Each structure stands twice: as structure tokens, then as C-alpha cells.
Structure 1
Amino acid sequence: MHIELIGPAHAGVRTLVLSAGLGGLASFWHPQIAALSRDYQVAVYDQRGTGRSADTLPEGYSIKDMAAELAQALAEKGLERYEVIGHALGGAIAMQMALDFPERVRGLVIVNGWLRLDAHTRRCFNVRQTLLLRAGVESFVQAQPLFLYPADWLSENQARIEAEDALHAAHFQGRDNFLHRLHALMACDFTTQAQAIAQPALLICSQDDLLVPWTCSQKLERALPHASVIKMPWGGHAMSVTASDEFNLLLLNWLQERSTHDVNA
């Protein structure tokens, strides 16, 4: 698995592991790297079967598999204690790691995540799957920004989106890999396990997210023992990209509060 370590690595520095959504690429977190890596060691990675972590995913691939292989890859880099920041699918990986490797996960940030798949999100995923199977990769890639970004941001960034479309189509993870990852995401359900996640958790959601209703974060907050939620009014599903300054500030403030708590504990 391709992992990049960025920022200070001296003794005592905290490590942040950033886990992307269905795209699976480390590059999703580009708007956060400079802000986070000043004071923290940041680990970003291409998820198995995507980008520079090329592989063929097996039938029955699961969120539990994704958590285990990430924990192993981090251990191979000498990283045994960290906070996990995950977007959508990455948030599910973060929760699974908190359950399966509680001694390694200090805390977690879940961005536009959920306890169990919402009916609206399921409809969106089914539409995306149908596009891929019936219309092909190009149509699938062209539709993807509609689920990620607000309409006004899309209108002002058409040249950027067209360039990203071409890049994503050229480096698409493959139909079968995508479907295995999508089905793993759609199948995961933390309803009966959430109470066992003892780590502090920050939930950040966007109130204009087309893909995941912001109320999913409220439900997740009620299920997790030590969680708080922050609602951003604008930014879409990928508000870490569209409203990165605001998002980064929220993230850094929470991390600093955690540092203060650790000192005073």
C-alpha cells in the first residue's frame, strides 16, 4: 500500500492518518496537507486497488479488511498510535479501526459519515452504479462531481472539473474494484457496535451535502459515547475541498483542544 509521511517525525509528535472516500486517493487531502503538517506528522495513502496501490480486490471485500490492511501498513511504517481522519468511506474505516485496534487509535474525525446507510444515500449509490455499468466510465466520471460539490462552486470551476474528469477517467480504479469497494461501504452498519467506540470523535458535516444528509451525523453523534458534531452550512459532500479554509480551522481547533485535554488529563 502506498503511504506518504509528511511533516515532523520527532518523538512526541502526533500522527494524523487521512483516509479518503470511494475515490481512495491520497490526493483528495491536498487542501489539508500544508495546514496539518506544520505541527503534525500526516500519513496519507492510496487505498488498496486505487492509484499507486494497484491490486485486484477479492469478492467479499469489507470495511473490516480495509481497516486491517491500513493498520498493518501503518505498523510497517513504524506508526502504532494515531488519530484517524476519514471522509465518508474513510470515516467507516476510521470507526472500524477504533473497534478493531483501540490501542492504536487515539481519536477520530468523521467527515460526512453515517451510522448506517441512509435511504437517500443508497439511492445515490445505486444511480452511480447503474451509470458505471450501463453508460461506462466516462459518464460515471462526469456525473461524479454532481454528488460531491455545490452547484455554484461547480459553475465557477468548470475548467478545473474538466481537467479532473480527464485525469480520473485515465486513472480509474477499474469497474470491479470500484464495485467491491462500493458494496463494502453499502453493507457496513455500526448500529450495534457504535457504543463500543470509546475514543473521542469529531463529526463534521455539510448541510448542503447532496449525497449524505447532514442529519446522518446527528444520528451518529447520538450513537457514539464521546462525539460532538459541527455543521458547516455550505460546501457539499467534499467541503474539505470547496471550503478548505473553514474546514481546516475546525479540524485544527479540535486537535488543539485534544492536545490541551491530554496535557491536563
Structure 2
Amino acid sequence: MFYKISGNTSPTAQTVVLSSGLGGVHSFWKPQLAMLEQHFRVVVYDQFGTGASQGTIPAGYRMEDMADELAGLLNTLKIDRCHVVGHALGGIIGLHLAQRYPALLESLVVINGWATLDSQTRRCFQVRQDLLLNTGVEAYVRAQPLFLYPADWLSAHAELLEQEQTHQVEHFQGMENLLHRLQALMSSDLSGSLDILNTPTLAFSCKDDLLVPWHCSTTLAHNLPNGELVQMSYGGHAMSVTDSETFNPILLEWLLRFAPPSAESSQPTETSWPKH
């Protein structure tokens, strides 16, 4: 698994781990890094079978496996306590981590996540799966932004999206890996165990999210013993990218609730290592 560590070098600085969605790669979090690095030690990583974390994902792969992989990475880095911020699939990883390794988590942020897959999300995933299987990787990648971003943002960033499409096709995680990850995500159901997840959890939703209806986050927050809810009105499924000016201060305010005052700012440094 490939990972990077950057940010606050104070011995009292807390660690924030950023876990991406179905794409699985660390670059999703670029709009948040500079802000978080001023206050926290920041860990980003490519999930197993994605990006620079090469490997073949077997049939029967589960969200619990993804949580175990993250727990193993934290153990390698000798991190025994951290905040986890996860987008969609990354947030589901965080929920399974809270269930399996509660002592690891200081707090959890689940962005556009859920406890049980909603029918709208299932429909969108099935469309994407059909595109991949019946039309191919390029069609899948070309359609992906439609599920992530608002129409006006798509129109204003056409050139950027073309560049990203080329990069994503060239670095595609592989059809089998993606299908096994997607099946794991669609099969996850935490509805029966939310009442025992005591980790302070912020459920972050967006009103115009096409992929994950906002009420999924409302239900999640309501059923968690220490759940809270924040809802943005604009930005789509990837509102942390499309409206980071709104998203970032809310995220930082949540995380700083748990940070010691002495660790609130420092000169960031950056190192990175691939773990083999």
C-alpha cells in the first residue's frame, strides 16, 4: 500500500487519515491538504488494488477487509489513535474500522456515506457496472463525473475533466479489482450495529448529491450514539472538491474540537514512502 505523511511535526499533533471513495487514490484530497497540514499530521494512501497500491483483489472481498488493511497500515506507522475522514466508500471503511478497532479512532467523518445501500445508489452503481462490462473502461471513466459533480461545475471544468479522463484510463485499477471493490461496497450493511459504534461521528451530506441521497446521512447520524449531521446545499457527491471553500472550514472545526490547543498550528513538512 502506498501512503504519504505530511503536516504538523509537533509531538502533540494528532493524526488525520484521509480515505478516498471508489477510485481509492490519495489525490482526491488535494483541496484539503494545505489546510489540514497546518494543524495535523496527515496520512493519505492508495487503497489496496488502486493507484500505486498494486495487487489483485480476490472474489469475496469485503469492506471488513478494507478496514483491516487500513488498521494494518496504521500499525505499521505506529499510529495508535487518529481521526479518519472518509468519502463514500472511504467513510464506510471508517465505520467498519470503528466497529472492529474502536480504540484506533479519536473521531470519524463520513462524507456522503450510508449504513444501508439506498435504491438510488444501487441504481447508479448498476449503471456504472453495466457501462464497464458492456462498453468498456473509457465509457465508464467518461460517465463517472456525471455521478460526482453538479452540471454547472462540469461545464466550467471541461478541460480539466478531459485531462483527468486520460489519466484515469491510463491508470485504471483494473476491471476485476473495481468490480470486486464495488460488490464489497454494495454488500455492506451496518444498520444492525450502529448502536454500538460510540466513536464521535460527523455525517456529511450534500443536498444535490445524485449518487447518495442526502437522507442516507441523516439516517446514519440519527442512529449513531454520538452522531452529528452537517448538510451542504451545493457541490454534488464530491462537494469537498467542487465547493471546498464551504466544506473545508466545517471539516476543520469538527477536527479541532479534539485537538490540544498547543497543536493547532505548525510549519508543515512532507515525506512519503511506498510500503511494500
Q: How would you bin the TM-score normalised by the shorter chain?
A: over 0.9
Alignment of 1:25-64 (within 5 A): 25-64=25-64
CA–CA distance in structure 2, aligned partners of residues 204 and 104 of structure 1: 21
Instruction: In structure 1, give the amino acid aligned to 2:214.
Output: W
Match of 2:269 in 1: none
Moved over 6 A (4+): none
What is the SS of the residue equivalent to 1:202? strand
Match of 1:88 in 2: 88
Instruction: In structure 1, give the amino acid aligned to 2:225.
Output: P
Match of 1:109 in 2: 109
CA–CA distance in structure 1, aligned partners of residues 121 and 9 of structure 2: 39
Match of 2:220 in 1: 220
Unmatched runs of 5 consecutive residues or more in structure 2: 262-276
CA shift, 1:80, in A, is 1.3
Q: Percent identity?
A: 49
Match of 1:169 in 2: 169
Residue deviations 1:65-117, cap 9 Å, x none?
Answer: 00001111111012111010000000100001111111111110000011100
What is the SS of the residue equivalent to 2:108? strand
CA–CA distance in structure 1, aligned partners of residues 214 and 242 of structure 2: 17
Alignment of 1:73-84 (within 5 A): 73-84=73-84
Match of 1:255 in 2: 255
CA shift, 1:256, in A, is 1.9
Match of 2:124 in 1: 124
* Residues 67 and 97 in structure 2, CA contact (< 8 A), matched pair in contact too: yes
Match of 1:99 in 2: 99
CA shift, 1:47, in A, is 0.3
Bigger mean CA deviation after superposition, 6-15 or 174-183? 6-15
What is the SS of the residue equivalent to 1:258? coil
CA–CA distance in structure 2, aligned partners of residues 114 and 136 of structure 1: 28
CA shift, 1:9, in A, is 3.2
CA–CA distance in structure 1, aligned partners of residues 8 and 221 of structure 2: 32
CA–CA distance in structure 2, aligned partners of residues 14 and 91 of structure 1: 19
Aligned pairs, how many? 262
Q: Tell me which of the two structures has the higher relative contact order, counting C-alpha pairs closer than 8 angstroms and 6 or more residues apart.
A: 2
* Residues 115 and 191 in structure 2, CA contact (< 8 A), matched pair in contact too: yes
Q: CA RMSD in A?
A: 1.3
CA–CA distance in structure 1, aligned partners of residues 58 and 23 of structure 2: 18
Match of 2:5 in 1: 5
Match of 2:158 in 1: 158
What is the SS of the residue equivalent to 1:103? helix
Match of 1:22 in 2: 22
CA–CA distance in structure 1, aligned partners of residues 10 and 31 of structure 2: 24
CA–CA distance in structure 2, aligned partners of residues 222 and 245 of structure 1: 27
Instruction: In structure 2, give the amino acid aligned to 1:69.
Output: E
* Residues 106 and 258 in structure 2, CA contact (< 8 A), matched pair in contact too: no
Bigger mean CA deviation after superposition, 71-80 or 180-189? 71-80
CA–CA distance in structure 2, aligned partners of residues 105 and 225 of structure 1: 15
Match of 1:185 in 2: 185
CA shift, 1:260, in A, is 7.1
Match of 2:266 in 1: none
Match of 2:66 in 1: 66
What is the SS of the residue equivalent to 1:259? coil
